[in-house]
Amino acid sequence: MGTVSKALSLLGLFTQLKPVIGLSELTRMSGLNKATTYRLLSELQEQGFVEQVGTERAYRLGPEVLRLAALREATVPILSVSRGILDRLADATGETAHMSLVRGDNLNALSHTYSPRHATRVMMEDAEVLSFHATGSGLAILAFSDDAFVDRILSQPLRRFTPETEIDPDEIRAALPAIREIGWAESVGGFEADVHSHAAPVFGPEGLPIGALAVAAPVARVTEEQKQVIRTELAACARAMTEAIGGLLPPTFPAACAA
């Protein structure tokens, strides 16, 4: 791993749950030695990518990250567009709607909307990092990704989140053609017990998935009628999201979902 990659990997350790991290913890989390971690942080701080706060001089993301994020959003308004589409999806289905983005070999939650229709709902606050193999979102992305990406993801150790999690790479590969044929994926209890999720890919300008839209609901509420509502609304919203960010549906995408 080169110097730039190491520095960027440090930035990737900051999350909503860990917005401020001390040097020792960053060293432990990164797997780098303390001297290297400190040197990289000093260089990042000099360029405005991190800053130190508090009496313990812990680190948080700096103003340069905000500038680049604002520039990216102005050019490709994924976050602002997703909020309106997620509101529409949650309102139509009465369930939690969320969007995730591919970040390297990780799948990160971007934004979510809760429906006020039910007091019991699937919560997303702690789900910052999702799984490719155990979630509807991840499976929808894998189904339309290139072979090299799928091979790389499925060659990694696959965590069993619940007794229902499928961790056999061959079984996961075998499920992907059916997802490509219908245009959406689902997972029942694979990532979180008693949660039924449906997801559809969102495509970028090159026709490859950059993320996914999903609807997550308690298993007991997902009737056959509700499944149809979710699948119809999800297909429409995922298509709208792709179009809004200038993405292109791949030629292999099902015509029924592209209509």
State the angle between helix axes of 136-144 and 169-182 in degrees (0 to 180), rounded to the nearest 10: 80
Q: CA-CA distance, 120 to 220, in Å (whole number)? A: 11
Q: CA-CA distance, 165 to 191, in Å (whole number)? A: 7
The confidence band for 259, taking pLDDT boundaries of 50, 70 and 90, is: low
186 neighbors 117 (Cβ within 8 angstroms): no
Q: CA-CA distance, 167 to 159, in Å (whole number)? A: 7
* 9-67 per-position pLDDT tens digit: 898 888 767 889 999 999 999 999 999 999 999 999 999 999 999 888 899 988 888 78
Q: What are the extents of the domains in the chain?
A: 3-67, 76-258
* 211-226 per-position pLDDT tens digit: 999 999 999 999 999 9
Domain 3-67 annotated CATH 1.10.10.10:
yes
Sorted by sequence, the CB contacts under 8 Å of residue 134 that are 6+ apart come out as 158, 159, 161, 165, 166, 187, 190, 191
Which residue reads 């509502």 in tokens?
229
pLDDT at 170 > cutoff 90: yes
* 66-117 per-position pLDDT tens digit: 787 777 666 556 777 888 999 999 999 999 999 999 988 889 888 899 999 9
pLDDT at 73: 62
Query: Selecting from 3.30.1330.20, 3.20.20.80, 3.30.450.40, 2.60.40.420, what CATH number does the domain 76-258 have?
Result: 3.30.450.40
**Centroid of chain to Cα 187:** 15
